[in-house]
Amino acid sequence: MRARITGTGRSVPEKVLTNADFEKMVDTTDEWITTRTGIKERHIATEDEALSDFAIPAAKAALEMAGVAGEQVDLVIVATVTSDRTFPATSSIVQDAIGAKGAAAFDLSAACTGFIYGLGVAQHMIAGGAARNAVIVGGEVLSKIVDYSERATAVLFGDGAGAVVLSAVAEDDEVQSGLLSVKMHSDGSLGDLIDRPGGGSRNPINSPSGKAGENGHLGYLRMRGNETFKVAVRTLAQVSKEVLAACDLDATDVNWFIPHQANLRIIDAVGQRLHIPEGRTYINVERYGNTSAASIPIALDELNRDGRIAAGDVVLLSAFGSGLTWGAGLVRW
Ligand code: UT7
């Protein structure tokens, strides 16, 4: 069996923070944020909102488009580093809400690359006969772990969720549409470039030693932006080439390139390295900021719902993130 994307969906918080809002919060300017990142605004969850508040509607929208009922879903993956609670997994909350009775469900931690990893895992489970309809959500509420007094990271991130339904189709399907290939990588030696040190078993919140309590910053996301930037460009270009080569395709065959929306300068640099033809790279970072695992499925849903992806189009997805992790997927629509 081959795995095919049969539905897409997205959901983001209503509340928006603009660059003008940040000018009032930290020592920054719209000009700095725009020229260094391309970001103009981002959607931010309220105090009461959590990941499942966006993951569930995104999953439901994807299921509706696919025409797949909840009870037909046998696998739910939520790629995230900001689940509702440390455990149980948010995927089980989604599984229950969509009526996927008894479906396997787990959260997947690969940061901004999580959605690509989810596609890869689900693809192999479908090909191996372990699942027929999978819901894969990439969702993040990074605003809950961002330090809004730290200008270098505060302006970058946004919240939201995107989802796809991946369904089994027979190999002899005429259009040969489906997920052609997924490649996934990691390099733990670069784990300090982006991390959140608190809240795990190394620095537990509420630990008797009070570690995280004494150092509030352990609960915040930390990033070495400059070094991350360089690795991002290199790994995104590398893995995109790898997935194209695996399918005997090159950049001229790509109808839509959807890179992880972290920074417009990274997107431009990668597009140039890959020689993606003009106008074929999808960019929405100006409206969402970096939504981590949600960025690719949100972009995919925008393009798809706007009717801009035609049957037979080749869509290249690639991401990098904390871990470090990086990966790419190639889809024939
Ligand atoms: O998906 C997660 C992966 N993460 C990323 O993709 C992030 C990758 N990195 C980046 O996007 C960029 O490195 C940043 C946007 C984070 C920073 O851009 P940069 O061009 O690398 O700037 P920088 O860190 O070298 O900082 C340049 C200057 C510094 O001031 P000095 O030392 O030159 O006086 C910073 O303090 O810009 C300053 N700065 C700011 N100024 C105004 C940093 N943040 C801000 C800010 N507003 N928000």
Q: For the chain, what are the domain ranges? A: 2-169, 178-332
CA of 225 to the centre of ligand 1 (A): 6
* Fold classification of 2-169 (topology level): Peroxisomal Thiolase; Chain A, domain 1 (3.40.47)
Choose one of 33, 226, 286, 325 to mutate for the ligand 1 pocket test, by most ligand atoms within 8 angstroms of C-beta. Answer: 226
Going residue by residue through the chain, which has 333 residues, state the pLDDT in tens, using 9 for 90 and above.
Answer: 899 999 999 999 999 999 999 999 999 999 999 999 999 999 999 999 999 999 999 999 999 999 999 999 999 999 999 999 999 999 999 999 999 999 999 999 999 999 999 999 999 999 999 999 999 999 999 999 999 999 999 999 999 999 999 999 987 766 678 999 999 999 999 999 999 998 888 888 765 554 544 445 788 999 999 999 999 999 999 999 999 999 999 999 999 999 999 999 999 999 999 999 999 999 999 999 999 999 999 999 999 999 999 999 999 999 999 999 999 999 999
Kindly report the pTM of this predicted structure.
0.96
Q: H/E element holding 297?
A: helix 295-305
Residue 319 contacts residue 140 (beta carbons within 8 Å): no
Nearest residue (by CA) to ligand 1, atom 10, is 225
Q: Which residues are designated catalytic? A: 112, 260, 290
Q: Do domains 2-169 and 178-332 have the same CATH topology?
A: yes
Judge if the beta carbon of residue 112 lies within 6 A of ligand 1: yes
Judge if the beta carbon of residue 326 lies within 6 A of ligand 1: no
The contacts of residue 105 (CB under 8 Å, 6+ apart) are: 75, 76, 77, 78, 89, 91, 92, 94, 95
Q: CA-CA distance, 321 to 85, in Å (whole number)? A: 21
Quick one: which atom of ligand 1 is closest to the CA of 22?
48
> Counting runs of H as helices and runs of E as strands, what totals does the chain give?
11, 13
Residue 41 contacts residue 20 (beta carbons within 8 Å): no
Judge if the beta carbon of residue 321 lies within 6 A of ligand 1: yes
CATH number of the domain located at residue range(s) 178-332 in this protein: 3.40.47.10
Under DSSP, is residue 182 helix (H, G, I), strand (E, B) or coil? strand
